[in-house]
Amino acid sequence: MNNIQRCITGETFGAKFLKGEFQSIYNQTASNFKEMITIEQFMELTSSFNTGVQNYSLESETRLTDHLRHYLWLDNEGIKAISVTFDPEDVIHSLLLAPYETYPETDNQLSKNTYMMPIQDEWFVFWGGANQFINYHYEIEEQRYAYDLVIVKDGHSYRDTPTSNEDFYAFNKEVVAPCDGRVVKVVNSIVDNELGSTNVSNPEGNYIIIQHANNEYSLIAHFKQNSIIVEEGHTIKQNQLIGLCGNSGNSSEPHIHFQVMYSDNHYNGKSIRIRFLGDYEPIQGDFIKPSN
């Protein structure tokens, strides 16, 4: 791709889009993007999106991998969103135009308890945050403020060419209690998925639910089979070891799913935006440590 075509960056995208420079934007997209949509289709989809828009502002910039950065642009009324990803050469790999949906009633309510991430090492926030573009859970009320965590080294969550769960950095890593509480539910016998398969019949896989003060509950899911070392009824302390990260349930690779909710039934209990130690709220693309 030559320098003339690479005239748009993640930081200038909003202004270029507002000016209607759709041909230049399309020229800068990756080849697989062009295979999915023609220039004619692209022009038809983009040309009407600016109607009524006075300006776009950059809402967030997050790191997906070492090679991809995600930019979220919002219109002046906060109702239209443009989600776009760039690589270091300013090639556009994805572009999504969509309504920007928010839930202010719950967005503005933090948990009464203060939690830590259930980790002992440095982890990467794969999904997390208060909008659907950086957290795919957000549109589901029961999971709205959930996090998915993996371990990333040198831009990858695995070593070499992965052939088993053991090739992923997160597998077998220690998982700890995010807050003091009492264990109310444990599932520990689900077999870990082989690579390329998922268990949609048992989406949480092996998981634990902990009851905390103020009628709050936490769910931690996708543990390694038979690795949970606490039992229902046990009282546990924040940062206490409870099990090992696995790849059980509806999981494509070893990771931790963590959420806080108002009920011990995660199928109908509303998710709560989590108050973390230090009043720091991780979002997609952040590397986090236990102190976070």
Q: Is the pLDDT of residue 22 over 70?
A: yes
> pTM to 2 decimals?
0.89
CA pair distance 221, 205, nearest whole angstrom: 6
How many CB atoms are located within 10 Å of the residue 153 CB?
A: 11
What pLDDT is attached to residue 42?
96
Q: Is the pLDDT of residue 2 over 50?
A: no
Sign of CA dihedral 35, 39, 43, 49: positive
pLDDT category at 7 given cuts 50, 70, 90 is confident
- 72-129 residue pLDDT tens: 999 999 999 999 999 999 999 999 999 999 999 999 999 999 999 999 999 999 999 9
Residue 207: name the closest of 194, 225, 195, 193 by CA: 225
Distances from the Cα of 206 to the Cαs of 59, 182, 255, in angstroms?
Answer: 36, 17, 12
- 223-268 residue pLDDT tens: 999 999 999 999 999 999 999 999 999 999 999 999 999 999 999 8
Going along the chain from its start, the domains and CATH numbers come out as 13-99 (3.10.450), 105-288 (2.70.70.10)
The answer for residues whose C-beta is within 8 angstroms of residue 133's C-beta and 6 or more apart is 70, 72, 81, 83, 96, 98
Pairing label, strands 110-115, 271-276: parallel
